[in-house]
Structure 1
Amino acid sequence: MPEGPSVRKFHHLVTPFVGQQVVKTGGSSKKLNPADFQSLWLQDTQVHGKKLFLRFDSDEEIELPGSRSPPEPLQKRKKEARDQKQVLGPKCRKISDTSLRSPECPVPSGDSSGSCVGGDAPANSAEKWLQLSFGMFGSIWVNEFSRAKKANKRGDWRDPIPRLVLHFGGGGFLAFYNCQMSWGSCPVVTPTSDILSEHFHRGQALEALGQAQPVCYTLLDQRHFSGLGNIIKNEVLFRAGIHPLSLGSTLSPPRLEALLDQVLDFSACWLQGKLQSQPQHTQIYQKESCPAGHRVQKEALGPAGGLKRLTWWCPQCQPQEPSEESLSDAPIKLQTPSPSPHTSAL
């Protein structure tokens, strides 16, 4: 599943098309009619965690010059896109997040994750936002189509069919593959939980990590770590030397701090690599041995009744922490005082 860095890359690809009108459509989507996008203007794009939001307006909703400020010039949007490629600071931690949300969509103080009021048709409001979730294999292609990399089960080399294709007045086009799309109103997000947002709240994240449950469950909870997926989970636990099933409540504050540092560092470096078209090299994910040469263990882990995800870890580099029960049930050893040399034997 595309994780936060990948969705930020999609956002980076879409941004140059903001301010342009859709002049031709296509695609195989049954839930949304591609023809409904004809003549709409792409006015804004936002990203939160694993979700991308695109705002479209019709001709009638773009008022005549003089009635209000016109849409931001395309050149300014291109500049914002270039700004996202700025050189990152030490450990790749500094990232650009200038277009996380639009000014007219205030972020509530509640704990809602990125969401829209979904639907099959544009909402009856001044703003029409398309929410995109990318599932396991979703992607966005710019000015080219995805090609088959291998034959299918029938032996055919058929190219993937895009769900939606939008051609713009500027001459380029966007092709959306294997993504879930729905119309909604202004996106409601919580940037304090987005691992790639400059508004990410470290204190809230540490509080979540300290819960009495396995840390590998907490890391995948999008309420606390929006944008964090299975690859990031495996890599940061290995780099922090923490067993996936270690209870957060048994880990010391310095170890929780170190784990959170790994989350932010790895995610930011992965995003930098995405923007520079560099592959991400993993140390434990889908590996048979760790960098030290130890044999890696693999198992599907997840909460009872919840989704279980394949997890890789090194039993030697990530030793199992004692549980709270084992600590409380450990026998207390009492030292018998030695007899005083001045005590006479009876």
Structure 2
Amino acid sequence: MPEGPSIVILRELTEDFVGKRVLQVGGNTRTIEPFRMKGLAVRRVASWGKHFLVQFDGFVLRVHFMLFGKYAIDEDLPDRVPRLQLRFARGRRLNLYACSVRYLEGDIDGLYDFSTDVMSDAWNPRAALRALRAQPDTLACDALLEQDVFSGVGNIIKNEVLFRIRVHPESRVGALPPTKLRELVEQAREYSFDFYHWKKAYVLRKHYQVHTKTECPRDGTRLSYAKALGRKKRRAFWCPECQRLYR
């Protein structure tokens, strides 16, 4: 599933379409009427967490890439039919594959709270701390995946942040010392920007410390693995030696 930094990159790549008119639409979507966009100009593109947003006059196209979604700009993926295709002048096009698409009525700023987006200039870490303190029994691995607290944080970021701050994923939020709680909030944003820069440089996987790995890079301990950890039942990788369990 694309995480927040990947959607920010998509937003940057599609900013050239702002002000351009949609000449043709296509794709196999059955959840929206794609021809509503035909002839309309793109007013804005934005990202909020894992949502890619395209603003038209009076409504927004919301795209969520789910587990296996992809996109292609000015090219077609071989042997794939797009869920939605937007065609512009001079043969330019945006193809969206294996994703969820829907319309939202209104404007982006009225629909989304950007203070929860870890990569937004409006990100509010104090609000994130308050939200965490209000759920003391939540496991750290679940807390980082709460999109109304850490919009854009996905499973890779979760695993790597907990390794960075040396916290076991099954630690309870209410048991974390204040310094660790602040580190969790700070690193949710800092690692997201690291992820963004590494992905743009095509070196993201080289920087994984525990995600999909078998040995701790700090102490050589064999990493623990769970296929479906916590309430959200997501894959987890951690070091049983250097990531402390706070109960």
Q: Calculate the TM-score normalised by the size of structure 1.
A: 0.65
Confirm or deny that 1:212 pairs with 2:168. no
State whether structure 2 residue 212 is matched by structure 1 residue 290.
no
CA distance in 2, matches of 1:224, 1:233: 13
Whether the 8 Å CA contact 2:114–2:120 is kept in 1: the answer is yes
Cα distance between partner residues in 1 of 2:31 and 2:233: 28
Aligned to 2:81: 161
Q: How many residues align?
A: 239
Pair 1:301 & 2:232 matched: no
Alignment partner, residue 174 of structure 1: 94
Could you tell me whether the CA contact under 8 Å between 2:125 and 2:186 is conserved in 1?
A: no
1:241 pairs with 166, 182, 187, which one? 166
Is residue 50–residue 152 contact of structure 2 (8 Å, CA) maintained in 1? yes
Identical aligned residues as a percent: 36
> What's the Cα RMSD here?
1.7
| Aligned equivalent of 1:20 | 20
Q: Counterparts of 1:95-244 in structure 2 under 5 Å?
A: 127-147=58-78, 159-185=79-105, 186-187=107-108, 188-210=111-133, 211-213=135-137, 214-244=139-169
Q: What is residue 46 of structure 1 aligned with on the other side?
A: 46
How far off is 1:261 after superposition?
2.4
- When the two structures are superposed, what TM-score results if normalisation uses the length of structure 2? 0.90
Unaligned runs of 5+ in 2: none
After TM superposition, list the pairs within 5 Å mapping 1:335-346 onto structure 2. none
1:149-196 deviation per Cα after TM superposition (whole angstroms, max 9, x unaligned): xxxxxxxxxx22211111101431110011111112123111111110
Structure with greater helix percent:
2
Q: Does the 8 A contact of 2:212 with 2:237 survive in 1?
A: yes
Counterpart CA distance in 1 for 2:151 and 2:77 is: 28
Residue aligning to 1:3: 3
CA distance in 2, matches of 1:228, 1:195: 8
Structure 2 contact 150–188 (Cα < 8 Å) conserved:
no
Gaps of 5+ in 1: 58-126, 148-158, 324-346
- Structure with the larger strand share: 2
Counterpart secondary structure, 1:5: helix
In 2, distance between residues paired with 1:316 and 1:284? 13
CA deviation vs aligned residue, 1:319-346 (integer Å, no higher than 9, x gap): 322x2xxxxxxxxxxxxxxxxxxxxxxx
C-alpha distance 279-146 of structure 1, shift in aligned 2 (>3 A):
farther
State the AA in 1 paired with 2:118. I
What is the match of residue 151 of structure 1? none
Once the two structures are superposed, what CA deviation does each residue of 1:199-253 show, in whole Å capped at 9, x if it has no partner?
Answer: 1111122233343221111111111111111111000001110001111221111
